[in-house]
């Protein structure tokens, strides 16, 4: 089926571009720092994912559409000649996702339209120099097609009609959105040269790791290269994904179609030196800019957390997050709004101790640490209780935090991990609790 579709694509391309000339052409962009581009992206996705309901697997229909229009300025290049850092100004960024018939929309706040996208040592990072993003905003601007790597589709040299080339690993990893690349069998082929345009095709498979889960993709794509402008100007990318279940993501099978329009422009004022004065130099970014802002549905708290913590469930009664370290599951944190106390008061430590030890589903064995955390700002109160025990015969450590504000607002944060993972957790649970802000009603 894939071969048939590829052959059909080439035939249609031949019709569109007219007579084919047996000639060679150099498919390479001479990208330079401070070059500016205008990019338009459209995405359509259909498929299904498998979740667990009442202890049994359930298949849910999945669909999504997205549009992104942004202008970007190149700030750095990699050794392979790909864009490794760019400042972007999003004129439009929106997505609509439907799961099991329920639709949610995602948009970017106007005060977060300026963003930075960078890739260093195979690690992709997107953030706004104007402040923390919400999870929806981060997904909206970081999970679209990675145009930093798009010139990696080109061979970067002179090729003849019918010649093929293999895509580099850096481009394959970025375009397939893998955190780690396992295999790359993507190849390109020069299909047509006519009317000043070189049309090429991309086909093959790749596999990698994303959010701790194995994923395999099959790609069929066609692109257009303007020979006079030496620019990749358009692309249609069709991708089929088969993704295993991971610690923070369900198993899924999806098909995605992406269309890209791309052109060079003069430097816009939104990306001038003055506009980018808040963008960090190099690739080191201060932690506050990379934090995610998670808001309680009822406005009772906000949580600024590092991106290692992945939200996996949020209801009116609690927020569940999982800590991933290079794809490995380390710990789970559950944030639960608690009964409000009188202003200036909080739950008695003894009552808190008894309530946490009596939590259903586990057998406490030994209290490892207990006490109030000193030096809290602005009348804030934090009490910590660390206990070793078992959950369903698995040896775990649970650390419970009671967080109270000066007006009596309270939350309980429960961090659960296997005893063997304690070293990997370090102080990241404390940092998470520090980022919890109670909002007094």
Q: What DSSP string runs through 109-134?
A: -GGG-EEEEEEETTEEEEE-TTSPEE
3-state SS class at 144: coil
Contacts for 275 with CB less than 8 Å, ≥ 6 apart: 89, 114, 269
Tokens for 345, please give them: 């008061």
Which residue, 237, 235, 239, is CA-closest to 261?
A: 235
Using alpha carbons only, give the angle 336, 338, 341 rounded to the nearest 5 degrees.
Answer: 160
Which residue, 186, 149, 194, is CA-closest to 39?
A: 149
Tokens for 419, please give them: 């005893």
* CA quadruple 277, 279, 285, 290: dihedral sign: positive
Domain spans of the chain? 2-271, 291-438
Give CA–CA dist 272/281, Å, rounded: 15
Give CA–CA dist 184/254, Å, rounded: 19
pLDDT of residue 248: 66
- Could you tell me which CATH number the domain at 291-438 has? 3.40.1000.10
| List of the chain residues with pLDDT < 70 | 1-22, 248, 441
Environment class of residue 429 by beta-carbon count within 10 Å: exposed (0-12), middle (13-18) or buried (19+)?
buried
Using alpha carbons only, give the angle 378, 380, 382 rounded to the nearest 5 degrees.
Answer: 150
* CA quadruple 118, 279, 143, 165: dihedral sign: negative
pLDDT of residue 16: 40
Contact of 58 with 44, CB cutoff 8 Å: no
Residue in the block written with tokens 């889960």: 213
pTM: 0.79
Q: Which of these CATH numbers, 1.10.8, 3.55.50, 1.20.120, 2.30.230, describes 2-271?
A: 2.30.230
3-state SS class at 7: helix
**Cα 343 to chain centroid, rounded:** 40
Tokens for 53, please give them: 């309901």
Which residue, 103, 96, 91, 110, is CA-closest to 37?
A: 91
Strand partners, 92: 69
């Amino acid at each position: 089926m894939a071969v048939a579709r590829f052959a059909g694509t080439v035939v249609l391309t031949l019709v569109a571009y007219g007579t084919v000339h047996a000639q060679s052409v150099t498919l390479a962009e001479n990208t330079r720092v401070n070059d500016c581009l205008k990019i338009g992206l459209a995405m359509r996705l259909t498929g299904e994912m498998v979740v667990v309901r009442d202890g049994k697997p359930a298949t849910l229909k999945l669909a999504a559409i997205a549009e992104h229009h942004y202008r970007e300025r190149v700030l750095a290049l990699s050794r392979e000649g790909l864009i490794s850092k760019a400042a972007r100004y999003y004129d439009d960024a929106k997505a609509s996702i439907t799961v099991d018939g329920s639709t949610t929309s995602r948009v970017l706040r106007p005060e977060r339209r300026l963003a930075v996208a960078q890739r260093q040592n195979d690690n992709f990072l997107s953030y706004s120099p104007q402040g923390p993003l919400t999870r929806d905003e981060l997904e909206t601007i970081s999970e679209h097609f990675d145009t930093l790597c798009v010139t990696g589709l080109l061979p970067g040299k002179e090729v003849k009609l019918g010649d093929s080339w293999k895509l580099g690993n850096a481009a394959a990893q970025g375009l397939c959105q893998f955190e780690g690349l396992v295999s790359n069998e993507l190849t390109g082929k020069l299909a047509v040269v006519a009317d000043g345009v070189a049309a090429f095709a991309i086909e093959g498979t790749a596999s990698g790791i994303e959010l701790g889960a194995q994923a395999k993709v099959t790609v069929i794509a066609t692109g257009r290269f303007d020979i006079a402008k030496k620019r990749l100007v358009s692309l249609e990318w069709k991708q089929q994904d088969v993704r295993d279940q991971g610690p923070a993501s369900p198993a899924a099978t999806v098909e995605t179609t992406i269309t890209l329009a791309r052109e060079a422009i003069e430097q816009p004022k939104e990306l001038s030196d003055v506009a980018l004065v808040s963008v960090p130099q190099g690739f080191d970014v201060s932690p506050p800019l990379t934090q995610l802002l998670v808001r309680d549905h009822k406005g009772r708290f906000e949580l600024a957390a590092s991106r290692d913590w992945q939200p996996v469930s949020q209801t009116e009664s609690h927020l569940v997050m999982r800590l991933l370290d290079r794809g490995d599951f380390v710990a789970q944190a559950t944030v639960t709004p608690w009964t409000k106390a009188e202003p200036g008061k909080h739950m008695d430590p003894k009552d808190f101790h008894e309530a946490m030890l009596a939590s259903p589903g586990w057998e406490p064995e030994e209290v490892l640490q207990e006490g109030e955390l000193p030096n809290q700002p602005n009348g804030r109160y934090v009490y910590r209780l660390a206990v070793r025990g078992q959950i369903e015969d698995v040896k775990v450590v649970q650390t419970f935090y009671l967080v109270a504000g000066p007006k009596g607002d309270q939350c309980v944060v429960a961090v659960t991990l296997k005893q063997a993972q304690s070293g990997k957790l370090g102080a990241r649970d404390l940092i998470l609790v520090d980022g919890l802000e109670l909002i007094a009603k």
